Amino acid sequence: MFWSQIIYVLVLISAVACVPSWDGFIGARPQASIGNLVPGASFIESLGSGISFERYKPKYLVTDAPKGVAGSLLVQDHTAPPLFYINNQQLWQLNNQTSILRVNVMNVTDVPGHPAPLKLEISDEEDGLQYGVWRWRGTKLHYDLGKLSNDGVWLKCQTKGGKPGIYTSLIPGPAPEGCSFTTLHSFVNRIEKP
């Protein structure tokens, strides 16, 4: 009788452990489990000049809007940065299991108050430059448009609100006033397509 009860309890525990769940099993963090839904999804970290690795605090690509809402992308420290991934040469931001936002490159050349020509924003719709290609080269994020490329060089520029917005240019040149060069990286293992 005793052994049959133990076997019954073990069968129940194994049955519960086999049931799939969005948040993983005991002790799993939901934020870590969403990356398993989309292979290659990871945080994007900004690395720029003047980094002191003795006192290094990572800065991540995040949005200035509430989670799941369209807005500008910027670089700042964050305790739970969003996950990004590339699919069909398009960069996407994961919000949760049912919400994914598109990263758009907006031409702000003629818009007053923007220090650089191309700005990163997220939205649930396609907007901005058409036919651009997002890709990883090693850990570094690149954006190409036809034969032009930013070669993985991004600009961190102070916006009107004082936040460090992310911009780029497809034409090499010095950093505009109020901007500094940075690179955006993902340090996740991914299978590179030939």
CATH (domain of 104): 2.80.10
Note whether 155 and 76 are same-domain residues.
yes
- Percent of the chain whose predicted confidence (pLDDT) is above 70: 76
The reply to whether 3 falls in a domain is: yes
Note whether 11 and 54 are same-domain residues.
no
Note whether 174 and 100 are same-domain residues.
yes
Q: What integer pLDDT is reported at residue 28 of this predicted model? A: 42
Note whether 80 and 26 are same-domain residues.
no
Note whether 18 and 58 are same-domain residues.
no
Q: Is pLDDT above 60 for 16?
A: no
Average pLDDT value for residue range 48-61 = 79
Q: How many domains does the chain have?
A: 2
Note whether 109 and 19 are same-domain residues.
no
Note whether 23 and 44 are same-domain residues.
no
Could you list the residue range(s) of the whole structural domain that residue 21 is in? 1-37
The reply to whether 191 falls in a domain is: no
Note whether 21 and 95 are same-domain residues.
no
Contact assessment for residue 179 and residue 156, using Cβ atoms and an 8 Å cutoff:
yes
The reply to whether 194 falls in a domain is: no
| Residue 71 binned pLDDT confidence (cut-offs 50, 70, 90) | very high
Rounded to an integer, what distance in angstroms lies between the CA atom of residue 123 and that of residue 68? Answer: 9
Q: What integer pLDDT is reported at residue 38 of this predicted model? A: 81
Note whether 31 and 9 are same-domain residues.
yes
The reply to whether 193 falls in a domain is: no
The reply to whether 26 falls in a domain is: yes
Q: Is pLDDT above 50 for 22?
A: no
Rounded to an integer, what distance in angstroms lies between the CA atom of residue 67 and that of residue 61? Answer: 13
Note whether 72 and 8 are same-domain residues.
no
Contact assessment for residue 184 and residue 58, using Cβ atoms and an 8 Å cutoff:
no
Beta strand 164-168 pairing with 154-158: antiparallel
Note whether 135 and 119 are same-domain residues.
yes
Note whether 93 and 30 are same-domain residues.
no
| Residue 65 binned pLDDT confidence (cut-offs 50, 70, 90) | confident
The candidate with the shortest Cα–Cα distance to 183, out of 136, 128, 145, is 136
The reply to whether 140 falls in a domain is: yes
- pTM for the full predicted model: 0.78
